[in-house]
Amino acid sequence: MNVFAVPGLPEVRPGDDLAALVEARADLRDDDVLLVASTVVSKAEGRRADLEEFPAGPRAKELAERLEAISGEQKDPRFAQAVLEESTEIIMEAPFLLTATKFGHVGVNAGIDRSNVGDGGADLLLLPERPSESADRIRENLESDPAVVVTDTSGRPFRHGQRGVAIGWSGIPASRDWRGETDRDGHELEVTVEAVVDELAAAANLVTGEGDDGLPVAVVRDWEFGNHEGSDNLYRDVDGDFVRQALRGWEFA
């Protein structure tokens, strides 16, 4: 398998056709996986926003005051308001805002970015509204027919460090289901459902970088999903998400 970044992409602007920008710089194959950083999907979809678009309500003010008291740093209540408006649930409100976005991803600050926002002076970059639909659209606009994955960089509980995760996908199942297959000793696998789109996103992040690299798109070539069942369940239902349920009852001291 090969992983490479697509070179020479410009600063992405609202309305840009990402498919055309990529195909002008890479010969894609139908069995490739194209991984696109959510940052540029958001830019193309006009998801840049200014703080003044989010006048803070009482709840946002309360959240910002609490975060300010804990961190000793100034917190803009309008930012908390933006997080609230992007979210369906605040899972943790201190010492940071951990929320579920409308499309199911759980992340700090609803994935709202304040880096690589782009020139033109916007304050914030919101995640794409429905990233799997974004991936569908990019695929439809391509001449070739690779799978498309929209990625973001995300932290995780239990471990330090961030890595790439998939937040939307098209033309590939999210997971490879090993259940019912056997290990080397003939034991049947009972629980392993491999989140391949996250693994691909992590590989892409290795070559796209996080800073001023200017490489928002990567291609994974000569990798095969193989002969396995697939599923699209990446985001846990709240009912089956016991960590999330436990966090709901937890209070930061």
Touching Mn ion, residues 185-224 (CB under 5 A): 210
Among 210, 222, 229, 232, binds ligand GDP (CB under 6 A): 210
Which residue, 113 or 123, is less far from ligand GDP as judged by CB?
113
3 binds ligand GDP per the rule CB under 6 A: no
Chain positions 56 to 115 lying near ligand GDP, rule: CB under 6 A, are 113, 115
Interface residue with ligand GDP, options 116, 132, 170, 175 (CB under 6 A): 116
Q: Which burial class, exposed, middle or buried, applies to 62 when counting CB atoms under 10 A from its CB (0-12, 13-18, 19+)? A: middle
- Cβ nearer to Mn ion, comparing 93 with 113: 113
Determine the 3-state secondary structure of 149 from DSSP: strand
Size of the site for Mn ion (CB under 5 A): 4
**Which of 3, 18, 34, 37 lies at the binding interface for ligand GDP (CB under 6 A)?**
37
Residue 16: is it exposed, middle or buried by C-beta count within 10 angstroms (0-12/13-18/19+)? middle
Q: How far is CA 107 from CA 34, 96, 136, 201, in A?
A: 23, 10, 23, 16
**The Cα angle at residue 139 between residues 115 and 46, in degrees rounded to 5:** 35
In this structure, the strands spanning 33-37 and 147-156 are: parallel
Residues in the site for Mn ion, rule: CB under 5 A? 113, 152-153, 210
Residues in the site for ligand GDP, rule: CB under 6 A? 9-12, 37-40, 43, 113, 115-116, 118, 151-153, 208-216
